[in-house]
């Protein structure tokens, strides 16, 4: 492994760690009324993994909560990993 490959690998590891510390959150909403049932989610924020984003909703009759958007986080990690692998292959020198 040459110097450029090591730098790419170190940057990729740091980016993956930061993505894990500040993951994407998803706002989930579920309302059940006598006539209607509505549920869904909205991709919204990035926040520190230990402290989820604060809810700013008042007067709701349903369930409103944040949870981690694991699928988006895994997609981001895989994109960084594939980019790192591609750059390492590109920077590979054969002697």
Answer whether residue 15 shows pLDDT above 70.
yes
Alpha-carbon Rg for the chain in angstroms: 20
Q: At CA 79, angle to CA 75 and CA 84, rounded to 5?
A: 150
Predicted pLDDT of residue 1: 84
Q: What separation in angstroms does the CA of 46 have from each of 50, 53, 75, 82, 94?
A: 12, 8, 15, 22, 41
Closest alpha carbon to 44 in 56, 32, 35: 56
Answer whether residue 95 shows pLDDT above 60.
no
Q: What is the spatial distance between Cα 24 and Cα 30, in angstroms, rounded to a whole number?
A: 20
31 falls in which pLDDT band (50, 70, 90)?
Answer: confident
Q: Model confidence over 52-86: pLDDT tens digits?
A: 777 766 555 667 778 888 999 999 999 999 999 99
- Both structure tokens of 63: 């369930």
Only one residue has tokens 């990690």, namely 77
Half-sphere exposure (CA, 13 Å, Cβ side) for 32? 1
């Amino acid at each position: 492994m040459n110097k450029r490959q090591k730098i790419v690998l170190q940057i990729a590891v740091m980016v993956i760690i930061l993505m894990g510390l500040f993951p994407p959150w998803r706002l989930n909403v579920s309302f059940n009324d006598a006539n209607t049932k509505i549920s869904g989610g909205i991709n919204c924020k990035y926040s520190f993994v230990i402290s989820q984003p604060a809810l700013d909703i008042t007067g709701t009759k349903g369930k409103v909560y944040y949870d981690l958007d694991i699928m988006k986080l895994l997609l981001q990690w895989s994109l960084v990993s594939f980019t790192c692998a591609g750059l390492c292959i590109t920077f590979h020198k054969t002697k």
